[in-house]
Structures are given as C-alpha cells and as structure tokens.
A = this chain, B = another copy of it.
Amino acid sequence: MGHRPGRDDRISTHCGLVARAFGADGIIYTFDDPKMREKLLDVVERFGGPFEVVMGADWRSVIKDWVRRGGEVIHLTMYGVPLPEIIDEIRRSKRDKLVVIGAEKVPGEVYRLATYNVSVTNQPHSEVAALAVFLDWLFEGREFYREFKGARLKIVPNPRGKTVINIRR
C-alpha cells in the first residue's frame, strides 16, 4: 500500500522479490506498473515459482474479501504488538494469511480491519525488512531450503564467488 511512483519504485520491487524469496504465494499491489510486474515475472521465469503478481487492486476490497473468505490479515507496523509475542498464535492458526505492508501513511482503517497489527521492532525502518523478518519467523527459516519450480537458473552456494547453473528444460 501507499506506493509513490518514481520515488518508491525500487522499494516496491524489493517487496515483491522478498515476498517471493521468503515463501509468499504472491503479492497484491494497490497501484499499477506494468514494468514492475514484468520485472518481477522475469525473476519468476528465471528463478522459478509459483508466484503471483496482482496490480492495481483496491486495498479495502482486498482486505474485506480476505476476511469474508475466512482468511486473516496481518498488518506490519512499528506501532503493533511485538512479533515474538504473537508469532506462535499466528503460526498455529491455519487460516490463509494476507500480510499488509505500506509506506509512511497507512490509513487508520487498516489498523481496525487487520486481524493482527504486528511490529517488527517498535522502531522506524523499512517495509521490505519487516516483510522479510516476518516471513522468516512465520516459516521458521524454511525459506532457506525452498525449491522453486520451473527455474532456469539455480545458484549453488559458494564461499568465494558465484556459481550459477543453467537448467535446460
């Protein structure tokens, strides 16, 4: 939520990449930017998926529909309940999870619509970081061992350089 064209292009792209790398099924943006979508789908094409990219969504409808369908909404904000205090409850719940992140000014309505308002430290920092740390805690580090399907490229860990494998399909 709350993308400012130009200024936030890199941040919003990073949010999408983080969502994919840390195990989310997709990302829903509240603005439309065909170039950004293309960039993200290019990463999916090269490094694998599945990962869905939806753009131009209306945040209010997305959140309300999610709840109506039985899902839960986790809004990451520096004002919320500390992650360590609430993560067990969120992990235990089997409901589909919608994580909401935004730039500086998220409307008060989001705080009321969210199932949980969760803080990743009560300090100002970054929605990119908040999303990554939240997903890392949620999945308990399993994102490090995630296999992506249909990847053309695969990185093999290397202590001293770069090893990239090209996978022929």
Contact = CB atoms under 8 A, between A and B. Distances in A.
Contact of A43 (B7, B14, B18, B124): B124
Nearest to A46: B124
Contacts of A79: 155, 157-158, 161-164
Nearest to A17: B125
Interface stretch (A29-37, A57-65, A136-144): A136-144
What number of copies of this chain does the assembly contain?
2
A73 to B, nearest CB: 13
A20 B123 contact: yes
A76 interface: no
B84 A128 contact: no
Interface residues of A, number: 56
A contact patch SS: mixed
Contacts of A22: 121, 125, 129
Interface of A: 7-11, 14, 17-18, 20-22, 43, 47, 78-85, 108, 111-112, 116-117, 119, 121-126, 128-133, 136, 141, 143-144, 146, 148, 154-164
10 contacts: A11-B14, A14-B126, A18-B129, A20-B125, A21-B125, A22-B125, A22-B129, A81-B158, A111-B160, A128-B129
